[in-house]
Structure formats: C-alpha cells, structure tokens
Amino acid sequence: MAVPFILINLKSYTEGFGHNAQRIAQSAERIAYENDVRIGLAPGYMDIHPLHVHNSLPVFAQHIDGVTPGGAHTGHIVAEAVKAAGATGTLINHAERRLTLADIEASNRLARTAGLETVICTNNVATSGAAAFFNPDYIAIEPPPELIGSGISVSKADPEIIENSVAAVHSVNATVKVLTGAGITTGECVRTALDLGTDGVLLASGVVKAKDPEAVLRDLVSLI
C-alpha cells in the first residue's frame, strides 16, 4: 500500500480560508512530518498560492475546468494556471461540484498533462469503476452524500460500498489509489477505511470546523 494520504478539503468554510487555512496547514505539516503520513489540503483558489509559498505540504484545487490553456475562457479554472499557482493536484467531480462524464475525462486529462495529481470523486461502485478508466491518481468514493458533514463515518455506515469500489477500481486499473470520505472524524474511522483496502481519506468538517484542528489531526493519524 502507498503511504496513507489524508486530504483535507477546506471547502468554502470561513474556518478554512485566509489565516485559518494557514493555521490548519501549519498543524497538518507538523503532524505529517512527525508521523510519516501524507497530508494535503484542498483550499479555495485564493489560498493555493499562499499555502504553497509558506508550507511544504501538497495543495490541491477543489475543481478545474476541462478547458485548454491559452484560449478565451473567461471565468474558467485552467489546470496550467492552478499548477503555476503552486498546486500539486486537483479534485475533480466533487459531490458539491458534479461534472458530466465528458467533463470528468477532459478535466482529468488536462490536469495530468499540466502535471497535476488527480482525485476523481465518485458516489457508487459503478462510477468508481468507470472513473478508473480515466487513469487518475486517486478515486475518492464518497457515498452517500447525506453522510457528508454528518459526523457519521462512511467507513462504518457503508463498508461494503468501499470494499466493492476498491475491487471495481482495481479490476479496471490496479495502479489507481482509492480514498474514501464523508463523515470521517477520528483515527478509528481512518483505520477502518485503510482496513477496507483504501489508501486514505478525503475529509472536511471534522478538521476544518473543529475547535482544535490540530488535536483532530493528531487523532486521525493515531492508528495508522
């Protein structure tokens, strides 16, 4: 298994931008270093460059558009521009930013061409298997959306969908790593996710909205 990856999506939470993003990044960097775990942040676009400049942890965009650079695409997010701002990778097709199949393919291809790692989010076994054909770095299975932000961990609520998604992904492409997310808040949730065959977790509110994000991060890595 690859080094476990904990990817924290800061979404648009006020607790997750500007100075707050910086504070979470500093804690994440400390804990990743002390525990030999890979921890990344997916901040809002405005925080990609400052987080890249002031920290060494991987920074992911929350979305990119499947448009080529150099064109007239007002208001679009171009993979090359995200890379130039210092991002390591990008989420694609998050549950809160769904795309068509064609858009997922184009975004993944253009991101990889730009040198970005890709995390395609999916919601069931079939979409996980389908996304594996696009050869992303990661597929993040987040079923079902009502668990998002609930504090009820997908790894406990629906372990079967995780195991079946891992199997579906690897039957198509064994090199794609799998993350899972929704309601992850503790080290026990992370341990269960890893035991179900994933390579890590994608989470948000458990860290971003915590009174003490560093304490939660410490707990998250405690059983790896």
Nearer Cβ to ligand G3P, position 63 or 94? Answer: 94
Q: How far is the CB of 191 from ligand G3P (least distance, A)?
A: 16
The residue with its CB nearest to ligand G3P is 205
The question of whether 94 is a catalytic residue gets the answer yes
Nearer Cβ to ligand G3P, position 129 or 183? Answer: 183
The question of whether 117 is a catalytic residue gets the answer no
Name the site residues for ligand G3P (rule: CB under 6 A): 9, 94-95, 142, 148-149, 181-184, 202-206
Selecting among 52, 94, 105, 117, the annotated active-site residue is 94
- SS3 string, the chain, reads CCCCEEEEECCCCHHHCCHHHHHHHHHHHHHHHHHCCEEEEECCHHHHHHHHHHCCCCEEECCCCCCCCCCCCCCCCCHHHHHHCCCCEEEECCCCCCCCHHHHHHHHHHHHHCCCEEEEEECCHHHHHHHHCCCCCEEEECCCHHHCCCCCCHHHHCHHHHHHHHHHHHHHCCCCEEEEECCCCCHHHHHHHHHCCCCEEEECHHHHCCCCHHHHHHHHCCCC
Q: How far is the CB of 152 from ligand G3P (least distance, A)?
A: 9
Nearer Cβ to ligand G3P, position 67 or 191? Answer: 191
**Which positions are catalytic?**
94, 142
